[in-house]
Every structure is written in structure tokens, then in C-alpha cells.
Amino acid sequence: MTLKEGKTGMTLKIKQIDDSSLKERLMTMGLTPGTKVKVLRAAPLGDPIAISVRSYNLALRRADAENVTVEQVG
């Protein structure tokens, strides 16, 4: 699955970041393979989403989250 399908409360482990113009920025912000993220909540209408990663909170659009492949671990 990808981070795009993440639902509130899910803990996800990042497997891979697909090539996109945002890839380097996402990785710089701490979204590296092996890192665990938690989906905290969604904005009204469900997009963007807020996630907790490396002890801080980050908001991103689902369209950009589609490039992050994850597996659910909790």
C-alpha cells in the first residue's frame, strides 16, 4: 500500500519512496525507508493528512503521499 491510503491511527513503516520531484524533500524531512510514521488526522474533506515522523508532525497532500510505499505495522 501507499501512504495515500493511510487512515487515522495507523502506524506504517516506509518501504520505498518513488521517484518524483518531491522525493529528495520527503527524504530530507525524515521519510526514509525503515522509518515508522503514524497517521494522526486528516484535514476537512480528507486531504491533506498529518503524520507523526521522527517525533515531529508533518502535513502532506495525499497526491504526494502516493509516492511513499508503506506497510502497516500497527
Partner 1 sequence: MATIAVALTGNPNTGKSTIFNELTGARQKIGNWPGVTVDKKVGYARHQDRAISIVDLPGTYSINARSPEEKIVIDYLMNNKLDLVMDVVDSSNIERNLFLTVQLLEKGIPLLIDLNMADDAERRGIKIDCRKLEDALGMPVVQTVGRSSKSARKLLDIFTSTVMSNYEPSQLVKDHIIKVQEIEASGKTESEKQEEIIEARYALIDTVIAQAVTMSNVGQTKSEKIDRFLANGVLALPIFLAIMYGVFMITFEWIGQPIADALDSLINEDFLDFATDALTDAGVAEWLVSLVCDGIIGGVGAVLTFVPLIFVLFFCLSFLDGTGYMARIAFIMDPIMRRCGLTGKGIMPLMMGFGCGVPAIMGARALDSEKDRMVSILVTPFLTCGAKLPIMALFAAMFFPDNAANVVFAMYISGVIMAIIAAKGLGSSIFKDKGSTFLLELPPYRMPDMKSVLLETWDKGKGYLVKAGTIIFAASVLLWVLSNYNFDGPCEIDESILAVLGGWMSNLFVFHGFATWESGAALLSGIMAKETVVATIGVLYGAADVSTEAADAVESAGQMMQTGMATSFTALSALAFMVFSQLYTPCVTALGTIKKEAGGWKWMAFSAVYMFVIAWVVSLLVYQIGRLLGF
* Residues in contact with partner 1, shown as a per-residue x/- string from 15 to 54 under the rule CB under 8 A: --x-x-xxxxxxxxxx-xx-x----xxxxxxxxx-x--xx
Q: Which is nearer to partner 1, 56 or 74 (CB)?
A: 56
The label of the residue with cell 500500500 reads 1
Interface with partner 1 includes 74 (CB under 8 A)?
no
CB of 5 to partner 1, least distance (A): 18
Distance CA 67, CA 74 (A): 21
Antiparallel, parallel or unpaired: β 56-60 and 11-17: unpaired
Do 4 and 20 contact (CB within 8 A), yes or no?
no
Q: Which residues bind partner 1 (CB under 8 A)?
A: 17, 19, 21-30, 32-33, 35, 40-48, 50, 53-61, 64
